[in-house]
Structure 1
């Protein structure tokens, strides 16, 4: 159930019966020849499909995240760490105020992971609440399926190339890109990082079959649904 398909009094009635909600978070950043919005598209879609049979409401994806390493790729938007922490905290405070106590954050971007300590601090001051941070693409079963299909997989490679993140007319290079030097890219600014990453793929081929991608997606939806339904206390 999408929050955008509800009005306020439906939410008020809902929280009297169930205190769960899902908040997807993503990023707008380079993904080689895939959509700049890949992380937000995937985080919201996996959340909506996972929550559908449960009736748990899913908020619109927070589109912007922390992506300073990609700042020199046009179209990328990056929030500062302090800004992002305040945004997440304000979102949590808002849903808590309305009665939600079990909150699943479905994260689509590795750069957002530094919010974990904030969530711990927030729960210390909201002791009747539980918050889970679910990095959907690297959750154990989903990543296990990725590695089973092709272990050469990373940011902007085939593993993010779903039918709904592709762009009509965009190039699909026909080679397997060597693994980038992660240590070398981590120690330089965004300009030199862009030079070293080139089009943006970190490792692997640029596209695999839709059959492969749907196998991964099925596991990702089921694994995310398990997070909605289980292990809250």
Structure 2
């Protein structure tokens, strides 16, 4: 597909010509938050880079990335920029309706911040009920193939915030800003209400999952909340990227041909 793929790089006339075809439009979402001492805080750049590669392969267009996300528990880390839930919901709704108002219905959200997922679901369900539009979304990092991770890391528990898959993908896609992590610190998870914290969601007590308003710094002041980033490699990041791009491109092709459904029954 010749011509620019980013809507932000098109002139008004170029955009009008391309959008007349009602192409699949990718909306990359990410965050600006602490990721540890080894990868840049702007993980939205990874979502955007993946969207670019999918667009190059599939002919989809790329909307400007939303670089801020909802995750109140990351507010302790300086340099992060978090949105309130109602702010994120309003922003995403306005982004999507900007396309729907022009009859552009083939929209695919590439979500690089898993905590956004419940709010994305809320927005897309509301749009289906009110406008009959069905907007698809993919949570990028939970979609990473377990087989690909096993091929590169064996059975090591590498997944987690500050660990995989973001570290390897950053080493591959953002090599100028990412760096290997030398060693993992000892587990420093704190306590709240005299309960040992399992993570930002809370603690366990005699088999009960106790939900608590934990902040990320109470788990890890340096942003390494889980996983093992010391095993990360650019080679693994390339494999993860290729696998995601391949499957996302296939999804774009499917959405390009899928008929638009009607409204969700009230």
Shorter-chain TM-score category? Answer: 0.7 to 0.9
Deviations 1:196-216 (A, max 9, x none): 223112223224222122111
**Offset of 1:54 from its aligned partner?**
2.4
Higher RCO (CA-CA < 8 Å; seq separation 6+): 1
CA displacement, residues 85-137 of structure 1 (integer Å, 9 cap, x when unaligned): 1111111110112331110000000111122022011022222x331111112
Output the TM-score relative to the length of structure 1.
Answer: 0.87
Match among 49, 54, 60 for residue 58 of structure 2: 54
SS of equivalent to 1:172: coil
The structure richer in helix per residue is 1
Deviates more, 1:12-21 or 1:162-171: 162-171
Measure how far apart 1:149 and its partner are. Answer: 3.2
Look up the match of 2:149. 146
Structure 1 residues 1-233: aligned runs within 5 Å: 1-33=5-37, 34-38=39-43, 40-114=44-118, 115-127=120-132, 129-139=133-143, 142-150=145-153, 151-161=157-167, 162-163=170-171, 164-165=173-174, 172-175=181-184, 181-182=198-199, 183-184=201-202, 187-190=212-215, 193-207=216-230, 208-231=232-255, 232-233=258-259
Q: More deviation in 170-179 or 65-74?
A: 170-179
Number of aligned residue pairs: give it: 228
Structure 2: gaps (5+ residues): 190-197, 204-210, 260-266
State TM-score, norm by structure 2.
Answer: 0.77
Query: SS state of the match for residue 28, structure 1?
Result: coil
The structure having more radius of gyration, on CA atoms, is 2
Kindly indicate whether the alpha-carbon contact (under 8 Å) linking 2:29 and 2:47 is maintained by their aligned counterparts in 1. Answer: yes
